[in-house]
């Protein structure tokens, strides 16, 4: 993620118009350098935040309400540090191409839609929200082609070894034991075929496409508003520190709203990808309705929000880190002016 570019390319002498600082367009980037440095920077960010994703996933598939502290203690006691990084290799391997596809779709869509909004004569604020919302929607759909199979494999590895799940969900926990990501890939392909890697693909699109569209649109509006106040407070001075502060506050605001709105759908998606249903002694992929009924039986609407805390923290930290890292990356990858 990166600091939002302005959707318009025109300039104005009006003192009331708010300009985002140091915008960098897609055409200004050295693409090979951009993707190489991006892989390195985002891999570091993913490494730092991965344990929170593991906690979130285990809370979502748990049949009872369990605190993050208890899950963390159980992992540390029975699985050690490695328990917090189960499936990390698979996740990292898939995240690199998925992130590259995401960033490409994001930047190209923003640039194209931004130019279109200029021709339509939309207001600056509306154009900014439309361009970023469209970019978020397009990039999420494109990236899910890679991210969904990675989610299926990595999430199964994340919950493997969770004693509470094996005890309370003996009929729905997948019976396969995986040595690593490649072993999981082979066994899923053998038992479920290629379709097994796209469990929950439809609901993933319903989760992430609107979520990304809302996130980027609300982020751009929040950033515009916060940046305007910041500049007025500091006599219109632009500086790197100020940009980071504005990006962080905007990202945290957008992430909190997005996490709250999409949490139930994300919980259903996670269960579809990890758990099985048992019918007449045979295990089959769980359906959306079976997942919803199971959640309602376990705790009603509240069960759909298990893992909200870790997800909120993860999204906020990830978005804040990603947005500042991405803006830093874009500056590193900017073509040298001849």
Mean pLDDT for 157-170 is 63
Q: Report the pLDDT value the prediction gives residue 227, as an integer from 0 to 100.
A: 75
3-class secondary-structure state, position 285: strand
Q: For residue 284, what is the enclosing H or E element?
A: strand 282-285
- The whole-angstrom separation of Cα 19 and Cα 5 is 9
Higher pLDDT, 272 or 23: 272
Mean pLDDT for 168-195 is 77
* Res. 242: pLDDT tops 80: no
- The whole-angstrom separation of Cα 246 and Cα 100 is 25
Q: Are 64 and 162 in contact (CB under 8 A)?
A: no
pTM, rounded to two decimals? 0.69
| Residue 267 tokens, joined | 């919980």
3-class secondary-structure state, position 66: coil
Burial of 87 (0-12, 13-18, 19+ CB in 10 A): buried
**CA-based R_g, the chain, Å:** 21
- The whole-angstrom separation of Cα 182 and Cα 11 is 52
Higher pLDDT, 136 or 164: 136
* Res. 5: pLDDT tops 80: no
* Res. 78: pLDDT tops 50: yes
């Amino acid at each position: 993620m990166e600091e939002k570019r302005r959707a318009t390319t025109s300039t104005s002498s009006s003192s009331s118009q708010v300009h985002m600082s140091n915008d960098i367009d897609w055409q200004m980037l050295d693409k090979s350098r951009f993707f190489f440095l991006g892989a390195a920077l985002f891999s570091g960010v993913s490494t730092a935040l991965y344990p929170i994703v593991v906690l979130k996933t285990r809370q979502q598939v748990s049949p009872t309400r369990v605190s993050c502290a208890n899950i963390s203690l159980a992992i540390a006691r029975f699985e050690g540090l490695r328990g917090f990084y189960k499936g990390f290799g698979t996740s990292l391997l898939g995240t690199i191409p998925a992130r590259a596809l995401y960033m490409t779709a994001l930047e190209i869509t923003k640039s194209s839609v931004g130019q279109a909004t200029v021709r339509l004569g939309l207001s600056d604020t509306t154009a900014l929200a439309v361009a970023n919302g469209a970019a978020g929607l397009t990039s999420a759909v494109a990236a899910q082609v890679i991210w969904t199979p990675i989610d299926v494999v990595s999430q199964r590895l994340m919950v493997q070894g969770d004693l509470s799940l094996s005890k309370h969900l003996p009929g729905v926990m997948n019976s396969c034991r995986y040595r690593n990501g490649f072993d999981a890939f082979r066994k899923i392909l053998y038992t479920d075929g290629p379709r097994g890697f796209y469990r929950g693909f439809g609901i993933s699109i319903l989760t992430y496409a609107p979520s990304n569209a809302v996130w980027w649109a609300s982020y751009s509006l929040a950033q515009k508003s916060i940046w305007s106040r910041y500049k007025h407070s500091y006599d219109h001075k632009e500086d790197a520190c100020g940009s980071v502060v504005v990006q962080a506050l905007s990202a945290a605001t957008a992430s909190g709203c997005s996490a709250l709105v999409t949490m139930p759908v994300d919980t259903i998606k996670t269960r579809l990808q990890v758990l099985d249903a048992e019918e007449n002694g045979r295990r089959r992929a769980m359906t959306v309705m079976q997942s919803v009924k199971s959640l309602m039986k376990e705790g009603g609407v509240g069960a759909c929000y298990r893992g909200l805390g870790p997800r909120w923290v993860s999204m906020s930290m990830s978005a804040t880190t990603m947005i500042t890292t991405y803006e830093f990356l874009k500056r590193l990858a900017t073509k040298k002016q001849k």
